Chain A
Amino acid sequence: NAGVTQTPKFQVLKTGQSMTLQCAQDMNHEYMSWYRQDPGMGLRLIHYSVGAGITDQGEVPNGYNVSRSTTEDFPLRLLSAAPSQTSVYFCASSYEDRHTGELFFGEGSRLTVL
């Protein structure tokens, strides 16, 4: 069972470059989300989606863009990378009933912006 798959696992960028973090899930989950994890800050929600064609902003959306063209995929785009975006990024998905269910996480993507 693949679950939630994130690529790449590691990436180094220069300031101003753009890139896309890929996320795919094979559990037919409607809800997908992106978090960033920073020391002392816990996990902070960047963007989320409740279904194909529907996305919304989380707590820290600036500098990131998302789209959801299929149920399976939810890519996160960094438009012009900045050192403040150095972080570990996690994609997570969930069943429709998020109030009682659980989030399923990918293994993370560690991004360094120089």
Chain B
Amino acid sequence: GDSVTQMEGPVTLSEEAFLTINCTYTATGYPSLFWYVQYPGEGLQLLLKATKADDKGSNKGFEATYRKETTSFHLEKGSVQVSDSAVYFCALHPNTGNQFYFGTGTSLTVIP
């Protein structure tokens, strides 16, 4: 069935470090892929998305490229800030049906 696997956390980085959070997926057909972010005490909010192979989603300095050949959608940011501390969820929506599938979340803490 459809699923998302993302790297285990927690991840702790110093400010201005480079961030990569790995995400791979299993799905038939051509799913849409998403990264959601959850700040402390809040609900999830969309960070970026890509709806077809080779698309690059970007927002707030974060980027992720939809790689069909490696079934991956890794999240990257060149220089993290303390305000990026949050839990990041990779998710997919298959090309049919009504269900989204979420990864387990990766907690990021950025220290000054």
List residues of chain A with CB under 8 Å of any chain B CB: 4, 31, 33, 35, 40-45, 48, 50, 56, 58-59, 90, 92, 98-100, 102-103, 105-108
Answer yes or no: B95 CB below 8 A from chain A CBs: yes
- In the complex, the answer to whether A103 meets B46 with C-beta atoms within 8 Å is yes
Residue B102 interfacial (CB < 8 Å): yes
The interface residues of chain A lying within 8 Å CB-to-CB of B42 are: 107-108
Partner of A42, one of B41, B46, B49, B102: B102
- A103-B92 Cα distance, complex, nearest whole Å: 11
Verify B102–A98 contact, CB threshold 8 A: no
Minimal Cβ-Cβ distance residue in A for B47: A102
Smallest Cβ-Cβ distance to B8: which chain A residue: A40
Any chain A CB within 8 A of the CB of B99? yes
Distance A90 CA – B34 CA, assembled complex (angstroms): 18
CA distance A108 to B51 in the complex (A): 27
Instruction: List which B66-112 residues lie within 8 A (CB) of chain A.
Output: 89, 93-95, 98-100, 102-105
With a cutoff of 8 Å between Cβ atoms, the chain A residues found around residue B103 in the complex are 42
**In the assembled complex, which residues on chain A have CB atoms less than 8 Å from the CB atom of B45?**
105
B22 within 8 A of A: no
> In the bound complex, how far is the Cα of B95 from the Cα of A100, in angstroms?
9
Q: Can you name the residue of chain B whose Cβ is closest to the Cβ of A48?
A: B98
Q: For the complex, is B44 an interface residue (Cβ under 8 Å from A)?
A: yes
- Chain B residues in 8 Å Cβ range of A59: 99
Contact mask B1-34 → A, CB, 8 Å, 1/0?
0000000000000000000000000000000101
Across the A-B interface, the 6 shortest Cβ-Cβ residue pairs:
A105-B43, A42-B104, A102-B46, A43-B102, A105-B44, A42-B102
Given A99-B32, A100-B32, A100-B51, do A45 and B46 touch, yes or no (CB 8 Å)? no
